[in-house]
Amino acid sequence: MNKVLIAPSILSADFSKLGQEIKDVERSGADWIHIDVMDGHFVPNITVGPVVVRSIRPLTKLPFDVHLMIAKPEAYIESFAKAGSDIITFHAEVEEHPKEVIKLIKYFKKKVGVSIRPKTPVKLIEGILQMVDMVLVMTVEPGFAGQEFMPECLPKIEELRKVFRKDIQVDGGINESTAPEVIKAGANVIVAGTSVFGAKNYKEAISKLKGQTYPCRGGGR
Ligand code: DX5
Ligand code: ZN
């Protein structure tokens, strides 16, 4: 796995011009659009639902990577799938029957991700690894953008990479200094909120995360 993919999280975008923000990151080299869905139960914050996914779907061809931080994912898979999601990730901590959720996501022909919080061991998802396309290792406690990266999550990425050959995504506090650490540990998909949408030049920010130096030609985004 040699290509690092960057998935800017729209949680840190300017929601008053969300469409423009998405077009800007697409033009700046983003690979996926990461959409954080929070329900005020699983995490202490509330964000967006399927109606927003549907309204931004026509604006870009980039895959929509939908991160469900919600207590009952099975109740919403159909809505998010029909709204135009491409990858649907649910949290292992909320599911007694993760195989059923995976089957439901696959029924709608979407890619499946399973996520674990910083304190959740890889062991919890061992039994379903062969059924998913991606594992999302949270590197902050889910709920808010702009938190500090938790380096104690790095060994979990290494542990997972030894047994899992598909996509390993990381999310939380990823910037140009923490990106090399997670990539070295084995991650290949990087979610970035603050470090992309908080930058003056999105293209430069995305290139830095990919580990290249982008020759600045001026002109901002
Ligand atoms: C946190 C979300 C993240 C977050 C990333 O619960 O899942 O996607 O918005 O933001 P940064 O990159 O600012 O940590
Ligand atoms: Zn996220």
Q: Which pLDDT tens digit goes with each residue over 122-144?
A: 999 999 999 999 999 999 999 99
The tally of domains found in the chain comes to: 1
> Probe ligand 1: pick from 140, 174, 177, max atoms within 8 Å of CB?
140
14 catalytic per annotation: no
Query: Residue 89 sits in which domain range?
Result: 5-209
In a domain, 143, yes or no: yes
In a domain, 182, yes or no: yes
Residue 196 beta carbon below 6 angstroms from any ligand 1 atom: no
Residue 87, CA distances (Å) to 5, 28, 149, 217 in order: 14, 21, 24, 34
CATH of residue 196: 3.20.20.70
d(CA 174, CA 74): 29
Angle between helices 18-27 and 202-210 (to 10 degrees): 50
In a domain, 220, yes or no: no
State the chain's maximal CA–CA distance in angstroms: 52
In a domain, 63, yes or no: yes
Other beta carbons within 10 Å of 115: 23
**pTM across the whole model:** 0.95
Q: Which pLDDT tens digit goes with each residue over 41-84?
A: 999 999 999 999 999 999 999 999 999 999 999 999 999 999 99
In a domain, 217, yes or no: no
State in Å: Cα 3 to ligand 1 middle: 21
Residue 171 beta carbon below 6 angstroms from any ligand 1 atom: yes
24 catalytic per annotation: no
Average pLDDT, the chain: 95
Helix (H) or strand (E) holding 26: helix 18-27
Q: Which atom of ligand 1 is nearest to the CA of 141?
A: 6
Q: Is 180 exposed, middle or buried (0-12, 13-18, 19+ CB in 10 A)?
A: exposed
**Strand ranges across the sheet with 111-116:** 5-8, 189-192, 167-171, 134-138, 111-116, 87-91, 64-69, 33-38
Rounded to the nearest 5 degrees, what angle is found at the Cα of 57, between the Cα atoms of 56 and 61? 120
Look at residue 3 and tell me whether its pLDDT is greater than 90. no
d(CA 60, CA 31): 11
Helix (H) or strand (E) holding 99: helix 98-107
In a domain, 219, yes or no: no
Backbone φ/ψ region at 40: left (φ over 0), alpha (ψ -120 to 50), beta: left
Q: What is the pLDDT of residue 212?
A: 60
In a domain, 181, yes or no: yes
Q: What is the pLDDT of residue 219?
A: 37
Pairing of strands 111-116, 134-138: parallel
d(CA 115, CA 91): 5
How would DSSP label each residue in 154-204?
Answer: HHHHHHHHHH--SEEEEESS--TTTHHHHHHHT--EEEESHHHHTSS-HHH
Residue 12 beta carbon below 6 angstroms from any ligand 1 atom: yes
In a domain, 83, yes or no: yes
> Probe ligand 1: pick from 11, 25, 120, max atoms within 8 Å of CB?
11
